[in-house]
Structure 1
Amino acid sequence: MGKERLTGLCLMSVHRDIDVNVSDIVKQFARQNPRKMKLPCILESDLSNEDNDLC
């Protein structure tokens, strides 16, 4: 593992009492990396909806 990844894991462990909104993180990543492939929102609870919005 790289040093940067280990640093991130360490910080996640130390600050585990901080609530993280996964949906916001995914949206922020998608905005910062627009060339990445757009995927349906797999974090939504209703996956049976055929009109899944893109994140």
Structure 2
Amino acid sequence: MSTEPCGICEATVPYSDTVHVTIHTKSDAGVVDGYVCRSCYEAHLQEYFED
């Protein structure tokens, strides 16, 4: 089973329980991407992407 570290809480979670996040920083960092666990996504990011 593949796992990924959450970019927010740093927990290692199964890949199937992650959300892929891509952010264009419009800075020298450019585009950054990573994975966050479903719990962190729902607690910290989901509200910004709801209709």
Q: TM-score range by the shorter chain?
A: under 0.3
More strand by share: 2
Q: Give the TM-score normalised by structure 1.
A: 0.24
